[in-house]
Amino acid sequence: MITAQNLTKKYGSQIVLNLENLEIPKGQSFGLVGNNGAGKTTFFSLLLDLIQPTTGHVENQGIQVNKSEDWKPHTSAFIDETFLIGYLTPEEYFYFIGDLRGRNKADVDQLLASFEDFFHGEILGQKKYLRDLSKGNQKKAGIVASFIGNPEVVILDEPFANLDPTTQIRLKAIIKDLAERDRATILISSHDLLHVTEVCERIVVLNKGEIVKDIQTSEETLKELETFFGG
């Protein structure tokens, strides 16, 4: 369970995020949509204690993230390419993350094997450093790395951007699977309304830092979102 109370973030006089009360129950797949500057990445950064809130705080399974580091073992994230270590090969990167999360090589290999389709032969055994991979392939590596060590909370910022169509479809299946089988709480932000309505049970629309819609996903959700953003 993730809760944000009276959470605001101001830069100067500009309010970039203002959440009165947001609760994300354990095991929910949660989608965050909004135009550029709506505060999606700001919220995720606050959740990961990468920036300081102006007021309020975030709790991750009862742990206040800016007070204790105990949320780290059960939380993992891929926000952008700054989460990758450019001078490692993808394998080394996965093993490194594995080391941090108490998984040995065999565990990591086993997990990676299940993502063979997703990698499409472009990640493993390429004899390339991560910095030399294409943006899409970097993203694939980063996303899979965030699944290492059975995290209970997975945070993915714009996971569909830069991916080719085949990979986008595979990623949707993976995320759904993760939510259903592992009961992981998954937080996704996206500009792609179709994808996000497909994988998320609940969708929150942010506009200029405020929650303007909070919807349990249904048949009509996509229409509703399209009308909102189109109008």
Partner 1 sequence: MFKRFVSLQWKSFFRSSSFGKSLIIKLVMLFFGLYMLSAMVGLGIALYFILKKIFPDQAPIWMLSQYLLYWVLAELLFRYFMQKLPVMDIKPMLSMPIKKSSIAHYILGRSGFSVYNLTALFLFVPFCIVLLYHGYPVVNVGPWLVSMFALVLCINYVNFLVNKNDKAFAILAGTLLILFALDYFQWVPVREFFGPIFHGLYQYPIMVIVPIALALATYYINFRYLKNRLFLDASLKTKSKEAKTSDLAWTKRFGDMAPFLQLDLKMIWRNKRTRAQVFISLLFVFYGLIFYGQDQFASMMPMLAFLGIFMTGIFLTNFGQFIPAWDSSYYSMMMSQNIPLRKYLESKATLISVSVVVMFLLTIPYVYFGWDALAINFACALYNLGVNIPVILFFGSFNKKRIELDKSAIGNMQGTSATQFLIILPVLGLPILIFTVFYYLISLEAAVIILSLIGIIGFALKNRLLDAITEKYRTKKYGMIAGFKEKEG
Binding residue (CB under 8 A) for partner 1 from 73, 166, 212, 220: 73
User: Which residue carries 């300081």 as its tokens?
Assistant: 52
Asked if 99 touches partner 1 (CB under 8 A), the answer is yes
Residue 100, token pair as written in the block: 């941090």
Minimum distance, C-beta of residue 190 to partner 1, in the bound complex (Å): 20
Asked if 96 touches partner 1 (CB under 8 A), the answer is yes
Nearer to partner 1, 67 or 183 (CB): 67
Asked if 82 touches partner 1 (CB under 8 A), the answer is yes
Asked if 46 touches partner 1 (CB under 8 A), the answer is no
Asked if 122 touches partner 1 (CB under 8 A), the answer is no
Asked if 95 touches partner 1 (CB under 8 A), the answer is yes
Find the binding residues for partner 1 in span 165-194 (CB under 8 A).
none
Minimum distance, C-beta of residue 99 to partner 1, in the bound complex (Å): 4
Minimum distance, C-beta of residue 204 to partner 1, in the bound complex (Å): 21
Please report the DSSP string for the chain in residue order. -EEEEEEEEEETTEEEEEEEEEEE-TT-EEEEE-STTSSHHHHHHHHTTSS--SEEEEEETTEETTT-STTGGGEEEE-SGGGS-TTS-HHHHHHHHHHHTT--HHHHHHHHHTTHHHHTTSSTT----GGGS-HHHHHHHHHHHTTTT--SEEEEESTTTT--HHHHHHHHHHHHHHHHHS--EEEEEES-HHHHHHH-SEEEEEETTEEEEEEE--TTHHHHHHHHHH-
Asked if 85 touches partner 1 (CB under 8 A), the answer is yes
Nearer to partner 1, 25 or 125 (CB): 125
List residues near partner 1 by CB under 8 A.
Answer: 45, 48-52, 69, 72-73, 75-77, 79, 82-89, 91-92, 95-97, 99-101, 105, 126-129, 131-132, 149
